[in-house]
Structure 1
Amino acid sequence: MARAVGIGGLFFRSDNPEKLGDWYRTYLGVDLSAGAWAQQAGPTVFAPFARESDYFPSDRQWMVNFRVNDLTTLIAALTEAGIEVETRLDWDSEIGRFGQRGDPEGNPVELWEPAAPAKGE
């Protein structure tokens, strides 16, 4: 059976696509200069949320979640650049650690450092 094998892209509107693209490249390392971003292999969660969920702002229809390799260091770098990242203790879970913020246009962005696999996995 034919089926989807991965996310091929994330497309969204922007008031200033070039400036917003520069923000993602500068602060999150999402480099689109080659036309596509080559990312590391790993899990991708695809999960519809209930319309009344408060997990991300109710005036937004989507949120992008980036897997990161060192959440503590990334949050420190963002903070040094004047970019606040919200963290909560309950965002440290068996699946990893999380931080959340909005990009310069208010689109919700989540940062996820997956938990290390248990020994023997």
Structure 2
Amino acid sequence: MGVLGIGGIFFRAQDPDALSKWYKDHLHVGAGCSGDGGDDPSDWFWRVQAGPVVFAPFKATTDYFPADKQHMLNLRVDGIDDMIASLTAAGIAVETRAEWDAPETGRFARIHDPEGNPIELWQPPA
């Protein structure tokens, strides 16, 4: 008996429908999306690929993400350069820093959704 993985991520939104559409359009996350490249809009859940998941409470004083936010969503990605280019082309500000990237941990980029929620994009090392 034990936990098998994360079953869902739930958070409040001013406009849940618009925010769900933004996540689906720009990050391919949410209902009807599939980590294996398929896309069945009849699904009410998101099918993800197996891989590492970090579950880590941070000190209340951390500066790793904005002080006015209680969480930061970290999404494991493949092809981070293409994703950054796509987000930038869509007018979404993307922040990268050389010091965030390391061969042992991978590459990182940060964005915010339309409601200001911080999102870290993480491409684990090959």
Q: Which amino acid aligns with 1:105?
A: E
What is the aligned-residue RMSD (CA, Å)? Answer: 0.8
Cα displacement (A) at 1:4: 1.2
Cα displacement (A) at 1:47: 0.4
TM-score after normalising by structure 2: 0.89
Cα displacement (A) at 1:101: 1.3
Q: Identity of aligned pairs, percent?
A: 53
Query: Following superposition, which runs of at least 4 residues in structure 1 exceed 6 angstroms of deviation?
Result: none
Unpaired segments of 5 or more residues in structure 2? 33-42
Q: Superposition pairs for residues 94-113 of structure 1, below 5 Å? A: 94-113=104-123
Secondary structure of the residue that 1:65 maps to in structure 2? Answer: strand
Cα displacement (A) at 1:106: 0.5
* Aligned equivalent of 2:46: 37
Q: Superposition pairs for residues 42-81 of structure 1, below 5 Å? A: 42-81=51-90
* Aligned equivalent of 1:6: 5
Q: Which amino acid aligns with 2:7?
A: G
Higher RCO (CA-CA < 8 Å; seq separation 6+) = 1
